[in-house]
Amino acid sequence: MDARIRLVLRFIEERGGTLQITPRQIGSLVGLGDARVLRLFRTEVGTTLRRHLLAVRMARAAELLRNGNLPIKRIAFDGGYSLVSNFHRDFKLVYGISPKRMRLLRLNAADAAVPDRTDQSGWVPSGGRARAAAGGG
């Protein structure tokens, strides 16, 4: 994998997908133009930057819902969402259930199997609203 993309991936993982940076800014950091960054990312990772950011955000949120007691609103804000409704929409798009439902499943059965409608790249190929993937609103 291209070292520049590995750097971007590490940067995203360290921040739990809450990266508030544009492709142009990423390009500046790794010495590429914004369009080249997006093409190289998709080629190397197999999904778009926006979809990857959404997958990382939602995985982090699901982990907090399963293993923590933070309010859903706090999880949404910590995940980079300014509107909780956008968080709910994206969470349901990825997991097929609401954040509240996931938390209730955890409370009702510690080992409950939670549906995960993502493919290997972490994206739901359902024709959902991809435009909100990176911005969250």
Cα 109 vs. chain centroid, distance in angstroms?
25
The pLDDT of residue 116? 57
CATH C-level class of 3-132: mainly alpha
The pLDDT of residue 127? 44
C-alpha to C-alpha distance for 43 and 77, rounded to whole angstroms: 31
C-alpha to C-alpha distance for 76 and 84, rounded to whole angstroms: 6
Contact 51, 121 (CB under 8 A): yes
pTM over the 0.85 mark: no
Q: Percentage of the chain with pLDDT > 90?
A: 31
Residue 137 has pLDDT above 60, yes or no: no
Contact 45, 126 (CB under 8 A): no
Complete DSSP assignment for 58-78: HHHHHHHHHH----HHHHHHH
